[in-house]
Amino acid sequence: MPGSKLDILRRLFRAAKASGRSPAAVLREAQALRGAPNFLSPEEFLGLRLYEKTCAEQRRYLGSFWNGPIHYMVASPSWYALVRDKLNFHLFFVSQGFAVPEILAVYAPDGRSVPGARRLADAGEIADYLQGLERPIFAKPIAADVGVGAHLIEPGKGARKLMRDGVEIAAKDLAAEMTGLPYGGYLFQELYFNSDQVATALGKPLVTFRMIVLRGKEASRLHIAEFKIRRAGLPNDNWDYGRTGNGIGLIDRDSGAIETAMLGQFPDMEFVDRHPDTGTQLVGCQLAGWPDLVDLTLRASRLLKGLGIQQWDCALTEQGPMLFEVNEDGNHLAPQACGCGGFWNEDLDRLLAEFGLDLRQPETIAWARKSARLVGETFGRDNAILGRGSFFNPVTRMDSE
pLDDT tens-digit map of 217-227: 999 999 999 99
Do 310 and 329 form a contact (C-beta atoms < 8 A)? no
pLDDT digits (tens, 9 = 90+) for 151-190: 999 998 766 789 999 999 999 999 999 999 888 899 999 9
pLDDT for the residue numbered 174: 97
Please determine, for residue 1, whether its predicted confidence score (pLDDT) is greater than 60. no
Q: Which of 56-65, 107-116, 300-309, 384-393 has the lowest mean pLDDT?
A: 384-393
**Cα maximum dimension of the chain:** 65
Q: What mean pLDDT do residues 48-65 have? A: 95
The percent of residues in the chain predicted with pLDDT above 70, rounded, is: 91
pLDDT for the residue numbered 224: 98
The percent of residues in the chain predicted with pLDDT above 90, rounded, is: 76
Q: What does the domain layout of the chain look like in residue ranges? A: 1-66, 77-96+194-348, 103-189
Higher pLDDT, 223 or 64: 223
Please determine, for residue 40, whether its predicted confidence score (pLDDT) is greater than 50. yes
Please determine, for residue 277, whether its predicted confidence score (pLDDT) is greater than 50. yes
pLDDT for the residue numbered 127: 96
pLDDT for the residue numbered 77: 79
Angle between helical axes of 171-180 and 123-131 (0-180°, round to 10): 140
pLDDT for the residue numbered 156: 86
pLDDT for the residue numbered 382: 35
pLDDT digits (tens, 9 = 90+) for 326-357: 998 888 889 999 999 999 999 999 999 999 99
Please determine, for residue 398, whether its predicted confidence score (pLDDT) is greater than 60. no
Please determine, for residue 305, whether its predicted confidence score (pLDDT) is greater than 80. yes
pLDDT for the residue numbered 144: 84
Q: Measured at the alpha carbon of residue 322, what is the angle toward residues 218 and 309, in degrees to the nearest 5?
A: 35
Q: What mean pLDDT do residues 228-248 have? A: 92
Model confidence at 395, in pLDDT bands (50, 70, 90)? very low
Nearest CA to 316 out of 228, 220, 221, 185 is that of 228
Please determine, for residue 399, whether its predicted confidence score (pLDDT) is greater than 60. no
Return the number of other C-beta atoms located less than 10 Å from residue 36's C-beta.
16
Nearest CA to 374 out of 365, 386, 383, 385 is that of 383
Q: Side by side, which strands form the sheet with 247-251?
A: 268-271, 258-265, 247-251, 220-229, 209-215, 309-317, 320-327
Q: Side by side, which strands form the sheet with 161-164?
A: 118-120, 103-107, 186-189, 137-141, 151-155, 161-164, 167-170
Please determine, for residue 51, whether its predicted confidence score (pLDDT) is greater than 70. yes
Higher pLDDT, 205 or 144: 205
Do 255 and 286 form a contact (C-beta atoms < 8 A)? yes
Which CATH architecture describes the domain 77-96+194-348?
2-Layer Sandwich (3.30)
